[in-house]
Chain A
Amino acid sequence: MSHIVTITTEVRDAEALRLACHRLELGEPVHETVPLFSGEATGYCVRLPDWRYPVVFDVDQGQVRYDNFQGRWGEPAQLNRLLQFYGVEKCRMEARRKGHSVLENQLSDGSIKLTIQIGADH
């Protein structure tokens, strides 16, 4: 292992978000303006199970807006799981775009591991 990078995920790809929602059997993200508890937000809206307000992704800015009242109006683990699957789908897309093969494994701690094999010409 030669270097390790830790990344904070930013949702900037609507197609990867759509694929993540599909895998989690959530509704299709729709670009709209929706009310939150305080004010309104515009972006791709995802309605997570048992969340009072939708989660709004501004893919141009890489920002996410939601109001779950510190977990009382929505379980944070649901959003984390969506971000997890967004990352998986985004990396799969980017790797395939470059012609790399991708292997996916579910780990026992709930993590998902992607192994990307880099061709000899890279």
Chain B
Amino acid sequence: MKTIDIIFSADGQSRIETRGFTGSRCKHASRFLETALGATASEQLTAEYHQTVQHQPNHLTQEN
């Protein structure tokens, strides 16, 4: 299941966390919320983000 969690803290800050997406698709999925809320203060890519990128098919071909 693909979900986006948004935590709105009592100090007015908000944090978006994506779950269940493959590679960079999480960024695309949450962009509409980031744009709607305001200015991005920080972004952190997690280990899961990099792991899922590695599992994607490699379309590069090698020429000999």
Contact = CB atoms under 8 A, between A and B. Distances in A.
Interface in B26-54: 26-27, 29-30, 32-34, 36-46, 48-49, 52
Nearest to B5: A115
A4 B17 contact: yes
Contacts of B4: 115-116, 118
Interface string B1-15: 111111111111111
Contacts of A107: 7
Given A91-B36, A111-B10, A5 B15 contact: yes
A77 B40 CA distance: 22
A109 B9 CA distance: 8
Q: For this complex, into which size category does the number of interface residues on chain A fall?
A: 35 or more
Nearest to A62: B38
A111 B35 CA distance: 21
Give me the 8 closest cross-chain CB pairs, A-B, nearest first: A10-B38, A83-B12, A110-B10, A80-B12, A2-B26, A118-B2, A2-B49, A116-B4
Interface of A: 1-10, 12-13, 62, 77, 79-81, 83-85, 87-88, 90-91, 94-95, 98, 107, 109-118, 122
